[in-house]
Amino acid sequence: MKVDDALIDNLAHLARLEFSADEKAGLRNDLQSMIVFVEKLNELNTEGVKPLQHMSNAVNVFREDEVKGSATRQEALQNAPVADDAFFKVPKVIARQPS
């Protein structure tokens, strides 16, 4: 599989990242070598082997329905880039309706 600029741009968009032209060239090379590595692994015949979805063999790890463990609001908001004393704040998601 060939890594091209369109693929880099799409992945960058999905990850909400922006790259300069120089950075993209470097990424293209890195990503290409990763893909070559995985394609090498793909040569192995895994017929009849179930995909490994979880690293642990644990199943049925449940908790009971109990209220506990909430943070205080102050703790919750302390790492937010923008907040007031009640809300996390993010750039406007909805454009204002023209009045």
Partner 1 sequence: MRTAVFRPVNIRPNQVHLRFIVEMDIKHKYEAVIGLEVHAQLATESKLFCGDSVAFGAAPNTHVSPITLGHPGTLPKTNRKAVEYAIKIGLACHCEIERYNYFARKNYFYPDLPKGYQVSQHTTPICKGGYVTIKTEQGQRDILLNRIHMEEDAGKSIHDMDEAYTCVDYNRAGTALVEIVTDPVMHTADEAYQYITELRRLVRWTGICDGNMEEGSLRCDANVSIRLKGETKLGTKVEVKNLNSMRNVKKAIEYEIDRMIGIVEVGGTITQQTRSFDASNDTTFAIRDKEEANDYRYFAEPDLAPFLITDDFIQSVENALPTLPQALMQKFQQQLGLTEYDAAQLCLEKSIADYFEAVIVLTDNYKAAANWINGPVKQYLNAQKLTLEELTLTPGQLAELIKLTDDGKVNFSVASSKLMPLLIQDSTKTALGLATELNLLQVSDNGELAAWVNEVIAKMPDKVAEYKKGKKGLLGLFVGEVKKASKGKADPKVVTALLEQKLNS
Name, in order, each residue with C-beta under 8 angstroms of 25's C-beta and a sequence gap of 6 or more. none
- Site residues (CB under 8 A) for partner 1? 10, 14, 16-19, 23, 53-56, 58-71, 73, 76-77, 82, 84, 86-95, 97-98
Residue 3 in contact with residue 32, Cβ under 8 Å? yes
Strand partners, 83: 88
**Cβ closest to partner 1, residue 47 vs residue 66:** 66
Give min distance, CB of 60 to partner 1, in A.
5
Give min distance, CB of 41 to partner 1, in A.
17
